């Protein structure tokens, strides 16, 4: 009886397979056209294009002679196709986690939607094809921003998509976030509630890029002189953000600078450090054009007297040697700080970074060297700031006023305070022994000598295994 059921099941599968092949043969053209339409929708999602572009791209393909079928193309159709593709990809990811038994971590960030609703962005990190890969998993709306609501939202998102509580208990090992109290608080943080709900031990980790940004932001807040550049950027933002005419004038003077200021507005805030680095680079490259633009606006008769005075003050600031020197110093420091912030590279390069910042207290970086070279053939001025001669920065058309001895001495004091503050804050925000332990996973740190390499990293690997609560099987030969 059992053999008969097996035979019947095999015959049914064969018939179904034959039926599918016949269907594919009869509708091969329609299937091929549908695949092309799906690829266009996938392109719109991948390149962050408007769904309205879907029909336009398909029309272009049709003009080129490509058969795109005779479906109804609209933004709604594009959205439905993308939703279908994403659901299939998410299902494949969940099935891989369940069937392979691989361990995974989640990365959480909090955001606010355009409708002022609190949302959680959830990423999953796991090993796929021997590479650590991060996948966007879900965008979840939560009622409140407290730890319990965040934990409940995470569990609901994971379980609703097929990851049962048992799978999470066995496979979920890590939790990464921005380190806010709502995320990692000891008593009521999301990690605390998440571990209680799932009855699992999680390795919690504070985002490397966010730590670095907090380290820099703390220095800027504690040293008053470092606020010059931040206030300057805020004034630029306030000038251009509400005036289309000024935006056009600024774009003609410095296209790249207008893009950076309008996009970022503020620097040295709790944002990604690369954003601040991009803004500083833009201002440095377009300093001459910005000086010219401020000078033009300060003399524009169609501008109100109060605004002309403001532009005149900004023009003087941009020509002040100390402000420009601060810009150069920060650009050099940000260049060192904005390297890869993954766990492995931070662990390896942290001491190198600290040595470089310490050396910059006595030795000028590449940008600051250019600014200092403008003073090589000129002594410090004893005249007032407005009467001191203008000097051209080598390699640029930007001009600065010759500083007085007091101004130059003040900058040297600020320079040492700022760089030492960076060193102290980085040591404060990167105290984890985990950073040093994880270095053994980077093959570039392994000893070259075979004898030393034989047992290198054994203790560190065991410590990592204990941290993430993994089982270890030891083989004896």
Q: Mind giving me the DSSP string for 95-138?
A: HHHHHH---EEEEEEEEE-TTS-EEEEEEEEEEETTEEEEEEEE
Q: Which run of H or of E encompasses 174?
A: strand 172-177
pLDDT on residue 66: 83
Q: What is the pTM of this model?
A: 0.73
pLDDT confidence of residue 472:
57
Tokens of residue 186, six digits = 């000891």
Question: Could you tell me the fold of the domain covering 101-206?
Answer: Nucleotidyltransferase; domain 5 (3.30.420)
pLDDT at residue 262 in the model: 47
Strands 172-177 and 118-128: unpaired
Interhelix angle 287-298/273-285, rounded to 10 degrees, is 70
472 alpha carbon, distance to own chain's centre: 34
Q: How many CA within 13 A on the CB side of residue 244?
A: 0
Residue-level pLDDT at 437: 76
For the chain, what are the domain ranges? 2-85, 101-206, 211-429, 435-467
Residue 256, classified by CB atoms within 10 Å of its CB into exposed (0-12), middle (13-18) or buried (19+), is middle
Residues 6+ apart with CB under 8 A from 120: 108, 109, 110, 111, 139, 140, 141, 142, 150, 153, 154, 157
Tokens describing residue 414: 């600020």
The number of CA neighbours under 13 Å toward the Cβ of 90 is: 19
Indicate the helix (H) or strand (E) that contains 283. Answer: helix 273-285
pLDDT along the chain (477 residues), means of 10: 52 62 71 86 90 87 82 84 91 92 90 79 90 89 87 92 90 89 88 90 84 84 76 74 74 58 54 72 81 85 85 88 88 82 61 87 90 69 60 83 85 90 87 71 78 80 73 52
């Amino acid at each position: 009886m059992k053999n008969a059921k097996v035979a019947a099941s095999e015959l049914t599968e064969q018939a179904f397979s034959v039926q599918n092949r016949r269907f594919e043969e009869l509708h091969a053209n329609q299937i091929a056209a549908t695949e092309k339409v799906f690829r266009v929708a996938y392109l719109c999602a991948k390149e962050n294009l408007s769904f309205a572009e879907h029909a336009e791209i398909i029309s272009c393909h049709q003009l080129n002679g490509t058969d795109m079928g005779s479906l109804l193309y609209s933004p709604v159709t594009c959205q439905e196709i993308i939703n279908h593709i994403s659901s299939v990809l998410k299902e494949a990811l969940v099935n891989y986690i369940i069937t392979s038994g691989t361990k995974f971590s989640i990365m959480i960030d909090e955001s606010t939607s355009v409708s002022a609703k609190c949302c959680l962005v959830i990423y999953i990190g796991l090993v796929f094809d021997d590479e650590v890969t991060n996948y966007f998993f879900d965008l979840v709306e939560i009622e409140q921003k407290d730890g319990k609501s965040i934990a409940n939202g995470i569990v609901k998102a994971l379980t609703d998509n097929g990851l049962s509580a048992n799978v999470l208990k066995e496979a979920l090992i890590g939790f990464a976030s921005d380190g806010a109290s709502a995320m990692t608080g000891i008593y009521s943080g999301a990690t605390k509630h998440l571990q209680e709900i799932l009855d699992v031990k999680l390795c919690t980790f504070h985002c490397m890029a966010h730590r670095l940004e907090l380290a820099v932001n703390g220095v800027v807040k504690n040293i008053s002189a470092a606020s010059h550049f931040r206030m300057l950027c805020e004034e630029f933002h306030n000038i251009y953000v509400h005036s289309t005419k000024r935006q056009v004038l600024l774009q003609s003077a410095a296209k790249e600078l207008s893009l950076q200021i309008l996009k970022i507005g503020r620097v040295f805030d709790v944002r990604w450090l690369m954003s601040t680095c991009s803004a500083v680079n833009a201002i440095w490259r377009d300093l001459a054009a910005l000086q010219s633009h401020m000078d033009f606006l300060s003399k524009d008769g169609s501008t109100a007297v109060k605004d002309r005075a403001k532009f005149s003050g900004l023009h003087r600031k941009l020509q002040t040697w100390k402000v420009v020197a601060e810009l150069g110093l920060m650009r050099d420091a940000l260049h060192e700080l904005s390297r890869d912030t993954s766990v492995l590279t931070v662990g390896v390069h942290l001491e190198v970074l600290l040595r470089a910042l310490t050396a910059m207290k006595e030795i000028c970086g590449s940008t600051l060297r250019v600014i200092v070279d403008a003073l090589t053939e000129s002594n410090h001025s004893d005249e007032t700031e407005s009467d001191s001669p203008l000097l051209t920065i080598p390699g640029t058309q930007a001009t600065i006023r010759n500083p007085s001895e007091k101004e130059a001495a003040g900058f040297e004091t600020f320079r040492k305070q700022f760089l030492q503050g960076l060193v102290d804050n980085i040591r404060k925000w990167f105290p984890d022994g985990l950073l040093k332990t994880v270095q053994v996973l980077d093959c570039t740190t392994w000893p070259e000598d075979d004898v030393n390499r034989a047992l290198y990293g054994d203790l560190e690997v065991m410590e990592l295994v204990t941290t993430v609560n993994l089982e270890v099987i030891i083989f004896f030969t």
